Amino acid sequence: GAGVSQSPRYKVAKRGQDVALRCDPISGHVSLFWYQQALGQGPEFLTYFQNEAQLDKSGLPSDRFFAERPEGSVSTLKIQRTQQEDSAVYLCASSLAGTSGPTDTQYFGPGTRLTVL
Protein backbone atom coordinates (compact mmCIF):
# COMPACT_ATOMS: atom_id res chain seq x y z
CA GLY A 1 0.00 0.00 0.00
CA ALA A 2 0.90 3.63 -0.24
CA GLY A 3 1.19 4.14 3.48
CA VAL A 4 0.55 2.63 6.87
CA SER A 5 -3.10 1.86 7.41
CA GLN A 6 -4.92 1.15 10.64
CA SER A 7 -8.38 -0.15 11.42
CA PRO A 8 -10.77 0.63 12.83
CA ARG A 9 -10.20 4.37 12.87
CA TYR A 10 -12.55 4.78 15.82
CA LYS A 11 -13.56 2.24 18.43
CA VAL A 12 -15.93 2.65 21.36
CA ALA A 13 -15.84 -0.12 23.94
CA LYS A 14 -17.63 -0.69 27.19
CA ARG A 15 -15.38 -1.17 30.19
CA GLY A 16 -14.41 -4.82 30.42
CA GLN A 17 -14.69 -5.57 26.71
CA ASP A 18 -11.79 -6.90 24.66
CA VAL A 19 -10.65 -4.95 21.58
CA ALA A 20 -8.33 -5.72 18.67
CA LEU A 21 -6.61 -2.99 16.67
CA ARG A 22 -5.06 -3.76 13.30
CA CYS A 23 -2.03 -2.25 11.57
CA ASP A 24 -1.02 -2.79 7.94
CA PRO A 25 2.54 -1.49 7.52
CA ILE A 26 4.09 -0.28 4.30
CA SER A 27 4.85 -3.32 2.16
CA GLY A 28 8.37 -4.61 2.74
CA HIS A 29 8.96 -2.70 5.94
CA VAL A 30 10.86 -4.78 8.45
CA SER A 31 10.20 -2.79 11.61
CA LEU A 32 6.83 -2.11 13.20
CA PHE A 33 6.11 -0.03 16.27
CA TRP A 34 3.01 0.57 18.40
CA TYR A 35 2.53 3.78 20.37
CA GLN A 36 -0.18 5.07 22.71
CA GLN A 37 -0.97 8.79 22.60
CA ALA A 38 -3.11 10.30 25.32
CA LEU A 39 -4.75 13.69 24.78
CA GLY A 40 -2.21 16.49 24.99
CA GLN A 41 0.74 14.10 25.25
CA GLY A 42 3.33 12.78 22.88
CA PRO A 43 3.23 9.19 21.62
CA GLU A 44 4.43 6.66 24.19
CA PHE A 45 6.29 3.58 22.99
CA LEU A 46 4.46 0.31 23.57
CA THR A 47 6.24 -2.39 21.59
CA TYR A 48 8.53 -3.10 18.63
CA PHE A 49 8.67 -5.90 16.06
CA GLN A 50 11.43 -6.78 13.63
CA ASN A 51 9.68 -8.99 11.11
CA GLU A 52 7.68 -11.44 13.25
CA ALA A 53 9.94 -11.17 16.29
CA GLN A 54 8.78 -8.95 19.14
CA LEU A 55 12.11 -7.51 20.28
CA ASP A 56 10.85 -5.03 22.86
CA LYS A 57 7.55 -4.99 24.75
CA SER A 58 8.73 -2.94 27.68
CA GLY A 59 6.17 -0.19 27.07
CA LEU A 60 3.06 -2.35 27.32
CA PRO A 61 1.23 -0.94 30.38
CA SER A 62 -0.04 -4.22 31.77
CA ASP A 63 -0.56 -7.87 30.93
CA ARG A 64 -3.93 -6.89 29.47
CA PHE A 65 -2.06 -5.61 26.43
CA PHE A 66 -0.79 -8.08 23.86
CA ALA A 67 0.64 -7.56 20.38
CA GLU A 68 1.49 -9.95 17.60
CA ARG A 69 2.83 -9.93 14.05
CA PRO A 70 2.73 -13.62 13.14
CA GLU A 71 3.80 -13.41 9.49
CA GLY A 72 6.01 -10.36 9.74
CA SER A 73 3.52 -8.07 8.04
CA VAL A 74 0.14 -7.18 9.58
CA SER A 75 0.14 -6.60 13.32
CA THR A 76 -2.65 -6.69 15.88
CA LEU A 77 -2.69 -4.97 19.24
CA LYS A 78 -5.17 -6.60 21.60
CA ILE A 79 -6.40 -5.09 24.83
CA GLN A 80 -8.31 -7.36 27.19
CA ARG A 81 -10.81 -6.18 29.79
CA THR A 82 -10.53 -2.56 28.70
CA GLN A 83 -10.42 0.16 31.35
CA GLN A 84 -11.23 3.86 31.05
CA GLU A 85 -7.53 4.73 31.32
CA ASP A 86 -6.96 2.80 28.08
CA SER A 87 -8.79 5.56 26.18
CA ALA A 88 -6.23 7.05 23.79
CA VAL A 89 -5.11 7.11 20.18
CA TYR A 90 -3.11 4.02 19.27
CA LEU A 91 -0.55 4.74 16.57
CA CYS A 92 1.30 2.23 14.47
CA ALA A 93 4.51 3.10 12.62
CA SER A 94 6.71 1.12 10.28
CA SER A 95 10.22 1.58 8.96
CA LEU A 96 12.08 -0.05 6.10
CA ALA A 97 15.14 -1.43 7.80
CA GLY A 98 15.75 -3.32 10.99
CA THR A 99 18.35 -0.84 12.16
CA SER A 100 18.27 1.75 14.90
CA GLY A 101 19.95 4.40 12.78
CA PRO A 102 18.43 7.85 12.35
CA THR A 103 17.94 7.44 8.63
CA ASP A 104 15.51 4.58 9.23
CA THR A 105 12.47 6.84 9.12
CA GLN A 106 9.32 5.77 10.93
CA TYR A 107 6.11 6.36 8.97
CA PHE A 108 3.00 6.66 11.08
CA GLY A 109 -0.48 5.40 10.33
CA PRO A 110 -3.57 7.55 10.99
CA GLY A 111 -4.18 5.92 14.38
CA THR A 112 -7.13 4.27 16.07
CA ARG A 113 -9.00 6.41 18.57
CA LEU A 114 -10.20 4.14 21.38
CA THR A 115 -12.82 5.38 23.80
CA VAL A 116 -13.69 3.20 26.77
CA LEU A 117 -16.97 4.05 28.45
Give me the residues that bind other proteins (CB under 8 A), please: 31, 33, 35, 40-45, 48, 50, 55-56, 58-59, 91, 100-103, 105-106, 108-111
Closest approach, Cβ 42 to other proteins, in A, equals 3
| Three-class DSSP category at 85 | helix
Q: Which of 82, 102, 71, 101 is nearest to 21 (CA)?
A: 82
Asked if 45 contacts 35 with a C-beta cutoff of 8 angstroms, the reply is yes
Closest approach, Cβ 72 to other proteins, in A, equals 16
80 vs 96, beta carbon nearer other proteins: 96
Spell out the residues 6+ positions from residue 46 whose beta carbon is closer than 8 angstroms to its own. Answer: 33, 34, 35, 36, 57, 59, 60, 61, 65, 67, 77, 90
Length of the chain: 117
41 vs 62, beta carbon nearer other proteins: 41
Closest approach, Cβ 89 to other proteins, in A, equals 8
82 vs 112, beta carbon nearer other proteins: 112
Which residues, listed in sequence order, are joined to residue 115 by a DSSP beta bridge?
Answer: 12
Closest approach, Cβ 23 to other proteins, in A, equals 12
17 vs 98, beta carbon nearer other proteins: 98
